[in-house]
Chains A and B, each alone.
Chain A
Amino acid sequence: MIAFLARTRHPGRTDITDWLAWGWATLGTLVVAIPIAWAVISSLKTEAEINSFPPALVPRAAQTITVEGQEKPLSVWIRTAPDGSEQTVALVRRVGLSATVLDPAKPEETFRVPVTELRQLKEFHLQFSNYTEPMKQFDFLRYLWNTVFVTVVATVLTLLLNSMAAFALSKYRFAGRNAMFALILSTMMIPLSVIMVPAFMVIVGLNLADNLWGVILSTVSTPTGVFLLRQYMLTIPDDLIEAARVDAASEFRIYWRIVLPLCAPALAVLAIFSVIWRWNDFLWPLIVLSSPENYTLQIGLSSLQGQFNVQWHYILAMTVVTLLPVTVVFIFLQKYITEGVASSGVK
């Protein structure tokens, strides 16, 4: 009976709309993946390759050869002679439209050919120094450390303070409870972009301007976090808490030893969000931080791009490093993140 119903509802043939759906999903995947893949590929190219046009789809570098009697390794070219014969040559120097080359087999004889007869030989090459050089040339490690510091400290404080507030709001009755909950929720309606000028004045007043703590402290209490944890704590039975009180546990001990461990799933979701929020934060650190040694990754990255001589091979490598942690977190915790967003509507 069930098999019969199933057969009539799904006739077994693939509908045109199924093909359209697959087409859309596949095309969309390409649209998402190509720009990111292009950045990753480009981040492994040499400086010369990254500035050459049209761009190559794979990272390559000039093939070189060490020739006796020449100080530096020479680049390898294919010469097409006017009679159509091809010959592998090494380029010694190039002046205008003519080039001095030699045959690697006879290194003592150099001869001149027009550059139009030459075609460079390139080989597959991954330029990993794009990733290591910025560590030396710029304060990249400093930015990385600052970001990790802000992310870790802010997340720990967020979990602690928000869960304390959520515990008070979900497990006690006290005068002003609903008003405080409403006040906390109302902060969702006040975006940073509206209060950035006075918020910066507060930071200056607290002597926290250009200080990582100025970035951290203003972001640790989140209405989203309080709300998420409060809803979860409401599901913890009060009997548990009553039983602990009978055993003369202090209120803080009840929070710390009973409620907090039971909230682990909700805390994990909030921790994931908090890490991603703090790692990606841009506008607020941009306002608070002014000296390069305090920059976070995001600010450092955007300031490098604004410089006169844009070194894309380094910028792209640092971009990849910046998106890597979020990507790893997402690959492993994808299910929790998408479900958390879908159920609570927060980002």
Chain B
Amino acid sequence: MSAPASVAPPAVIRGERLGDGLDAAMRVVEVPMAALQRLLGAARMPYVFILPNMVLFTIFVFVPVGLAIAYAFTGGTNLLIWDRPYVGLENFRALLDCGSYLEPSTCRYNLFWTAVHNTWWYTLLNTLGTLFFALVTALVLNRLTRGRGFFRAVFFYPVLLSPVVVGLIWQWFLAREGLLNGFLTDWFDTRIIFLLDVGWSRVWVVYVSIWFHMGFFMLIILAGLQAIPRDIYEAAEIDGTSQWRQFWCLTLPLLMPNLLVVTVLLLIRSVQVFDEAWVLTNGGGPGTANTFIVQFIYQTAFSPDLRLYGLASAASVLMGIALLALTLSQLWLAKKAQV
């Protein structure tokens, strides 16, 4: 260890400080690994290093992807794939069997199409709303000379909360006895049971999502804003360009690649809405007003009285195709943004 010691003192100091006990413990792992290296040769060691990761990825990602497609072509309620009969395209046919795609009640699986419609509206409103608030907040923070770090932390904080916590906090805030209804009673002498009303509950699901995730997208946009060189603005100011014009003609075009990536990222996330909406609306209610595609898949597969794994997988495959298209367009946009 003498040669690296001279170049990398931290490693050695740390090793000394932690003492001989840990040193012995570390040797317990090192000795068999050194033996393995003698057995395989140094050239094969990288495969040993990468193996555990690849095994886990194979078991929990690659195999399931293959199985998802296989499941989609099978029927019945058995979980294990070899117990399931092949039914061809029947699951897809059942899902896509619709009088009119704009009217979920004319479809054979109207819950699926209700979920698709809900997800579509949610995706549209959530993407536009989050984009707007994240952009404005990023511009505001970029402008602040003092307190930027503090406000950045405040706006980012909700991102780190769990979906269950966010759902519960807002359910309590909007409850019959909640703070918002307290104010409504005080000021307007009225009370609204927000989460039992179809229209209101949808509004609040979108609002809570924006509240929850806005900080993440704000941070990405803020990083983009700070990458714009200052001297461009100085030049514009010398030319007497108004701030409004500076925003439309400088900031927005320069930020566009960043915004496009954020938009696609938002679309990808929105299509997969589930956790916080599920907790907030007590499982997609009222009725099916806030039932989204992931919830449909989850319920179709795992409710004790359904267990339609094939149908759920067919729905997953359809959603996966949509997500794949979005992801590929994101990669394409990200690549274009770098050039």
Known: A55-B182, A201-B81, A347-B216. A280 touches B4 (CB 8 A): no
A235 within 8 A of B: no
Query: B71 to A257, Cβ gap below 8 A?
Result: no
A-B contact pairs, 12 of them (CB 8 A): A32-B155, A161-B52, A164-B53, A190-B65, A198-B65, A199-B64, A205-B80, A243-B4, A251-B37, A258-B8, A282-B163, A305-B279
Beyond A174-B47, A319-B165, 4 extra complex contacts between A and B, CB < 8 Å: A32-B157, A54-B186, A202-B67, A298-B162
Question: A35 contacts which chain B residues (CB < 8 A)?
Answer: 169-170, 173, 179, 211
Question: A109 contacts which chain B residues (CB < 8 A)?
Answer: none
Question: A283 contacts which chain B residues (CB < 8 A)?
Answer: 274-275, 294, 298
> Which of A20-28, A72-80, A93-101 interfaces with chain B?
A20-28
Range, interface on chain A: 35 or more
Interface size on B, residues (CB 8 A): 113
Chain A nearest CB, measured from B37 CB (Å)? 5
The interface centre, meaning the residue of A29, A34, A250 with most chain B CB atoms within 10 A of its CB, is: A250
Query: B323 to A191, Cβ gap below 8 A?
Result: yes
How many angstroms from the CA of A154 to the CA of B238 in the assembled complex? 56
> Which of B96-104, B121-129, B137-145 interfaces with chain A?
B137-145
Chain B nearest CB, measured from A94 CB (Å)? 22
A83 within 8 A of B: no
B109 within 8 A of A: no
In A47-66, the 8 Å CB interface with B consists of: 50-55
Mask for A272-287, Cβ within 8 A of B = 1, else 0?
0000100111110011
Q: Please report B residues at the A interface, Cβ cutoff 8 Å.
A: 1-4, 7-8, 10-11, 14-15, 26, 29-30, 33-34, 36-37, 42-43, 45-47, 49-50, 52-54, 56-57, 59-68, 70-71, 79-81, 136-137, 140-141, 143-144, 147, 149, 151-165, 167-173, 175-179, 181-182, 185-186, 211, 216, 219-220, 222-223, 234, 237, 243, 272, 274-275, 279, 282-283, 294, 297-298, 301-302, 309, 312-313, 316-317, 319-320, 323-324, 327
How many angstroms from the CA of A191 to the CA of B65 in the assembled complex? 10
Question: B160 contacts which chain A residues (CB < 8 A)?
Answer: 276, 280, 326-327, 329-330, 337
Question: B223 contacts which chain A residues (CB < 8 A)?
Answer: 342-343
A217 within 8 A of B: yes
Question: B234 contacts which chain A residues (CB < 8 A)?
Answer: 9
A17 within 8 A of B: yes
How many angstroms from the CA of A25 to the CA of B215 in the assembled complex? 12
- Closest Cβ neighbor of B165 among chain A residues: A323
- Closest Cβ neighbor of A347 among chain B residues: B216
Query: B10 to A261, Cβ gap below 8 A?
Result: yes
Query: A197 to B11, Cβ gap below 8 A?
Result: no
Known: A38-B173, A174-B46. A298 touches B164 (CB 8 A): yes
Query: A342 to B222, Cβ gap below 8 A?
Result: yes
Mask for A161-195, Cβ within 8 A of B = 1, else 0?
11011011101101001001001100101110111
- Closest Cβ neighbor of A40 among chain B residues: B169
Query: A161 to B56, Cβ gap below 8 A?
Result: yes
Question: B220 contacts which chain A residues (CB < 8 A)?
Answer: 341-342, 345
- Closest Cβ neighbor of B61 among chain A residues: A187
- Closest Cβ neighbor of B26 among chain A residues: A256
- Closest Cβ neighbor of B80 among chain A residues: A201
How many angstroms from the CA of A22 to the CA of B145 in the assembled complex? 10
Query: B67 to A53, Cβ gap below 8 A?
Result: no
Q: Secondary structure of the B side of the interface?
A: helix
Question: B15 contacts which chain A residues (CB < 8 A)?
Answer: 257
Question: A302 contacts which chain B residues (CB < 8 A)?
Answer: 164, 167-168, 279
Known: A25-B151, A35-B173, A258-B11. A250 touches B37 (CB 8 A): yes
Chain A nearest CB, measured from B28 CB (Å)? 11
- Closest Cβ neighbor of A247 among chain B residues: B3
- Closest Cβ neighbor of B154 among chain A residues: A29
**Which listed residue, B60, B168, B272, touches A217 by the CB 8 Å rule?**
B60
- Closest Cβ neighbor of B233 among chain A residues: A9
Known: A217-B56, A226-B53, A342-B219. A22 touches B144 (CB 8 A): yes
Question: B57 contacts which chain A residues (CB < 8 A)?
Answer: 183-184, 187, 221
A36 within 8 A of B: yes
Question: B56 contacts which chain A residues (CB < 8 A)?
Answer: 161, 217-218, 220-221
Chain B nearest CB, measured from A333 CB (Å)? 10
Query: A249 to B1, Cβ gap below 8 A?
Result: yes
Query: B52 to A50, Cβ gap below 8 A?
Result: no
How many angstroms from the CA of A326 to the CA of B162 in the assembled complex? 9
How many angstroms from the CA of A141 to the CA of B27 in the assembled complex? 37
How many angstroms from the CA of A343 to the CA of B224 in the assembled complex? 10
**Which listed residue, A22, A161, A194, A342, touches B319 by the CB 8 Å rule?**
A194
Question: B61 contacts which chain A residues (CB < 8 A)?
Answer: 187, 190, 195
Query: B1 to A202, Cβ gap below 8 A?
Result: no
Chain B nearest CB, measured from A140 CB (Å)? 14
- Closest Cβ neighbor of A237 among chain B residues: B7
Chain A nearest CB, measured from B85 CB (Å)? 16
Question: A201 contacts which chain B residues (CB < 8 A)?
Answer: 64, 67, 71, 79-81, 309
- Closest Cβ neighbor of A163 among chain B residues: B49
Query: A180 to B54, Cβ gap below 8 A?
Result: yes
- Closest Cβ neighbor of A20 among chain B residues: B140
Query: A197 to B297, Cβ gap below 8 A?
Result: yes
The interface centre, meaning the residue of B172, B309, B319 with most chain A CB atoms within 10 A of its CB, is: B172
Chain A nearest CB, measured from B295 CB (Å)? 10
